Structure 1
């Protein structure tokens, strides 16, 4: 590969890393063509970008960025496939679901919301991370709860008062 081509690929990897808020590194070398195709389809369906990269080029691309990605460098061995997403737990859910049918996909490391997760044992932790939309929904539900209680109390009080007045008028 020519030096100009390597520079282009490094720039492309760096731009992709900047574009997404999280990325996962996984080992996919033992996947056959059918399983790889199924994985790519699942990624497309979930809105996850999948990219197979050379470790040396990924290392140079990460070095050229503003953030410090040194904890990930030890994971850059063997073949590396990157999964990019703006939803922190989406790739983890995809990997966990895919591993039910094939043990060939192994998580190496992940960078999620400025945090590093190294090793395959972190998969359950990554699945449990709530996405931004899930957190917003929880906060809205918590904020709505007191308002619903007040409205409910006012409505029930109104019907009780109406019942008392009706009973008094009948007597």
Structure 2
């Protein structure tokens, strides 16, 4: 590979690192062409950008980035694919589908401004909640007391109405 091509690849990886806040390093050793294209299709449906890269070029792109990715360097061995995503837990959920086969296997991840190294972190990554999920949880918590008050008022209104109706129908 010529130096100009390498520089272009490093620059493209750098742009992806800036564009996507989360990424996973995945070992794709043992995937044939059919399995790789099936994985790419699933990634596309889940809005994950998957790129197979050379480890040295990825390391240079990580070095050039503003964030310190040094803990990830040990994971840069063998065949590596990078899964870029906007939602931190989406690739983990996708990789859990393949867990019984072991291919592709999680090497490391950078999610929610934290580094996760090792395949054993997959469950932890899948349990991370996305920004939208957290917002939904907060909204549900805020709505809960209001729903209880409205419910109590409505049930109370029916009770009061029933009592008044009974009193009104009672002969004097």
Fold-level similarity (TM above 0.5): yes
How many corresponding residue pairs?
170
Q: TM-score, normalised by structure 1?
A: 0.96
- Partner residue of 1:53? 53
Q: How does 1:74-153 map to 2 (within 5 A)?
A: 74-100=74-100, 102-153=101-152
TM-fit CA distance, 1:27:
0.6
Kept in 2, the 8 Å contact 1:27–1:78? The answer is yes
Instruction: Supply the distance in 2 between the matched residues of 1:103 and 1:27 (Cα, whole angstroms).
Output: 9
Unaligned runs of 5+ in 2: none
- Partner residue of 2:155? 156
- Partner residue of 2:4? 4
Kept in 2, the 8 Å contact 1:39–1:98? The answer is no
What SS does structure 2 have at the residue aligned with 1:84? strand
* Alignment deviations for residues 124-144 of structure 1 (CA, whole Å, 9 cap, x no partner): 111111111111111111110
Instruction: Supply the distance in 2 between the matched residues of 1:42 and 1:148 (Cα, whole angstroms).
Output: 39
TM-fit CA distance, 1:104:
2.2
Unaligned runs of 5+ in 1: none
TM-fit CA distance, 1:99:
3.0
Q: TM-score, normalised by structure 2?
A: 0.96
